[in-house]
Chain A
Amino acid sequence: MAARKIIKERIPTPERPPEERIKDFKEVNKGYTFELAIKEAERCLKCPYNYAPCIKGCPVHIDIPGFISKLVEYQDDPDKAVREALSVIWRCNTLPATTGRVCPQEDQCEMNCVMGKVGDKINIGKLERFVADYAREHGIDEELLSDIIPTIEKKEQSVAIVGAGPAGLTAAGELAKQGYNVTIFEALHEAGGVLMYGIPEFRLPKDIVEKEISKLKKLGVDIRTDHIVGRTITVDELIREYDAVFIGSGAGTPRLVNVPGVNLNGIYTANEFLTRVNLMKAYKFPEYDTPIYVGKKVIVIGAGNTAMDAARSARRFGVDVTVTYRRGEEYVSARKEEVKHAKEEGIKFEFFLNPVEFIGDEKGKVKAVKFEKMRFSDELDSRGKRKIEGTGEYTTLPADTVIIAIGKSPNRLIINTSNFNVEHGRIIVDENMMTSVDGVFAGGDAIRGEATVILAMGDGRKAAKAIDEYLKSKKK
């Protein structure tokens, strides 16, 4: 076989220009067309399954060369190519349209891609997204699903799932495919968890999430929104009424900075800001009733994904946005693509600033934030990060709106109303994802604190397997 010519550069995915996209909430990246996807797929070296570093980097171990080679192999028949590729992906991941968009690929599947040694790494995330999008747009995912449904053997036993985020949705899907009767209890009026209320439309269109949820309904999953576990129904009642329980209640409690003035008007947690914008569509006020106040100058505190989402959402109201972070740029934890997009969109970044006071006007509305300037100290913290220390110098930045995005901890309600073992607010599970209460399993941000979509899904899948084993043994 003749040596194939290596194409070093990534095939780019078209993006909408910044000056256009900051005027609306429509998706920024347009993704691959079939032709472009094939070009990128052909760059992949199709490393052997047991060696491929990309597979090792993916938390759910998708057979990446496997799905990419299907695209190449059947490129003369796009529908078949996508169907085959999707079947490979679905073995490990049922939400590829989402993960392809939001996974921190540069730290996972793409991190050690061997193509990186000679050129650009393979754009695995965008290929995965392409497969999922094409399948959805051409009804291929529906076809695959209708192939599966008749093969499901219905079982008697039932499982209750708490929370309809990626962890709960994944566990529900896997258990439904095993034939269990599955009921999801979700506190909000819409299923999806952070995918629905947190991550904005321009990064993850909501109709994609809704489509994923409609597939679960086709599998027979009963989704009860407006049900707050701990209040509407308790975990103890779920244990009595169902044969097993899975808790995927996430990490929804926003952390606040503990400094004077934090309750001034105009100071939002990122969760509140994003919930108003995404879930309640405040960017369409007054067509939608939920109000939001954005002012002219917005300061975002923090530099994770949540901070980027808040900053970029605020920017779409046509205002001036500055992201402030107490450490240096190298410690920014958001996905690289989001930081790049944020900068392109004209969002400013200020590093080594730690808020010490919010200053308000006589009506109780914020007008400025006072920061202490920080610097690196010589010590390292427990995670090997360089510690920072105050310099004793201060600076004040004007602000009409402040968005606090410094992290979240697990939802309190469920923990306060149940009796499983908890550490730092996180539910403790064993290697089978079971909590200290027999038959109650947990996963996702509820056990990890803030993590990622794919880790939450991985937990959901692992827990579903464990629940299946548990219920089989219980039946005997």
Chain B
Amino acid sequence: MFEILNKKELAKNMVMYRVKAPHVAKKVQPGQFVIVRAFPTGERIPLTPANWDPQEGWVDIITFIRGKTTLKMAKELNIGDHILNIAGPLGNPTPMKKFGKILAIGLIAGIIEVYPIAKAWQRAGNEVVSLHVTPNPMIILKDEFEVAVSRHILESFDVQPHWGMDDISKEIVRRATKKVKELLENEHFDLVFVVGPAGGEKAVFNVVKEYGVPMEADLHSIMVDGTGMCGACRVNVGGEVKFACIDGPGFDAYKVDWDELIHRIGFYAPMEKIAMDNYLKALEDRGEQ
């Protein structure tokens, strides 16, 4: 049981929890994640510590409200409450060597994972340019990035009232690819790093590969245990089956089978919708919105 020490709404649908989890805070490195199980009937979902303090024993996790678990956490977990399980840290730390000049891109909530990595890369002597592509109401970590890296670029836009999630995704892809192209056209980068929805990552990759710049991406495959035991997170990298939880989550973007990844991530969407709709209905019955 892990106590919530603080909770803040950073932006629309972006909630931060500061959780007492000394076992994670002591060990976590940039690039690693945790698996959270918040409720007795809940799923295990991967989330990323954005900040942590090994002495005080807390980690900050930021959730983007996308479905039932992240919404239920926002609705039902408050300061002083406990998260049932936080396993970790998991995954491989990102290599902290000197690459030179790095473009680190976060699409919407992907920026959460980019933050600790970009900060550490800058500290390791790289020149980091960060790019956050997001709808305006979901801007987060702007001040933090401005302190942590050489240059932080915000590529944000207003969401039109009639837009659905698909329109937002399209706008993200449109803006991300345009901006990346512009940056690569005018500046030299030694590495591009991206985190976001797989479709967006793939679109960015398609631009980057035309410039031949090395590129890494954190892959968001569906995970269950996160310890290499189930194979749910398997991805095809360079023709080999890899488990994102113990071989990743970062991989060489040139080797990833993107279409397969996109298919795998979307597989449970109909069921996730059922879970979400049931929960929304339960909220309604309780008179909440």
For the complex formed, measure the closest distance between the CB of B276 and the CB atoms of chain A, giving whole angstroms.
10
Cα A411 to Cα B231 with chains together (Å): 12
Cα A364 to Cα B262 with chains together (Å): 9
Looking across the interface, which residue of chain A has its beta carbon closest to that of B92? A231
Cα A341 to Cα B242 with chains together (Å): 36
Beyond A188-B87, A189-B85, whether A263 also contacts B224 by CB under 8 A is no
Beyond A189-B44, A226-B88, A275-B225, whether A285 also contacts B271 by CB under 8 A is yes
Cβ-based interface call for B102 (8 A): no
Cβ-based interface call for A253 (8 A): yes
Cα A407 to Cα B289 with chains together (Å): 48
Cα A468 to Cα B37 with chains together (Å): 37
Cβ-based interface call for A293 (8 A): yes
Cα A271 to Cα B231 with chains together (Å): 8
Q: How many residues of A contact B (CB 8 A)?
A: 43
Cα A269 to Cα B271 with chains together (Å): 20
Cβ-based interface call for B241 (8 A): yes
For the complex formed, measure the closest distance between the CB of B263 and the CB atoms of chain A, giving whole angstroms.
3
Stretch at the interface among B120-128, B137-145, B206-214, B232-240: B232-240
Contact with B275, one of A187, A232, A284, A291 (Cβ below 8 angstroms): A291
Cβ-based interface call for A60 (8 A): no
Cβ-based interface call for B153 (8 A): no
Contacts of A288 in B (CB 8 A): 41-42
Looking across the interface, which residue of chain A has its beta carbon closest to that of B91? A231
Contacts of A268 in B (CB 8 A): 231-232
Contact with A263, one of B42, B43, B236, B268 (Cβ below 8 angstroms): B236
A360-381 CB contact bits vs B (8 Å, 1 = yes)? 0001110000000000000000
Cβ-based interface call for B68 (8 A): yes
Q: Is the interface of B mostly helix, strand, loop or mixed?
A: mixed
Cβ-based interface call for B230 (8 A): yes
For the complex formed, measure the closest distance between the CB of B202 and the CB atoms of chain A, giving whole angstroms.
14
Cβ-based interface call for B154 (8 A): no
Cβ-based interface call for A146 (8 A): no
CB-based contact A286/B278 at 8 Å: yes
Cβ-based interface call for B46 (8 A): no
CB-based contact B228/A232 at 8 Å: no
Beyond A231-B27, A364-B264, whether A412 also contacts B228 by CB under 8 A is yes
Contact with A189, one of B24, B37, B234, B264 (Cβ below 8 angstroms): B37
A388-429 CB contact bits vs B (8 Å, 1 = yes)? 000000000000000000000001110000000000000000
Cα A254 to Cα B113 with chains together (Å): 28
CB-based contact B89/A232 at 8 Å: yes
For the complex formed, measure the closest distance between the CB of B167 and the CB atoms of chain A, giving whole angstroms.
22
Cα A269 to Cα B228 with chains together (Å): 12
Cβ-based interface call for B86 (8 A): yes
Cβ-based interface call for B229 (8 A): yes
Cβ-based interface call for A451 (8 A): no
A243-273 CB contact bits vs B (8 Å, 1 = yes)? 0000000001110100000110110110110
CB-based contact A272/B232 at 8 Å: yes
Cβ-based interface call for B227 (8 A): yes
A 211-255 contacts with B by CB, 8 A? 224-228, 231-233, 252-254
Contacts of A227 in B (CB 8 A): 23, 87
Contacts of B227 in A (CB 8 A): 187-188, 228, 252, 411, 413
CB-based contact B87/A286 at 8 Å: no
> Would you give 15 A-B contacts (Cβ < 8 Å), ordered by A?
A189-B87, A226-B86, A232-B88, A252-B228, A269-B231, A272-B232, A275-B225, A284-B41, A286-B275, A289-B42, A289-B69, A293-B271, A363-B263, A413-B227, A413-B246
Question: A231-B27, A263-B236 given. 12 additional CB < 8 A pairs?
Answer: A187-B227, A232-B87, A233-B23, A252-B229, A268-B231, A285-B275, A286-B271, A286-B275, A286-B278, A289-B68, A364-B259, A413-B246
Nearest 6 pairs of A and B residues by beta carbon = A364-B263, A291-B271, A272-B230, A226-B87, A252-B229, A189-B85
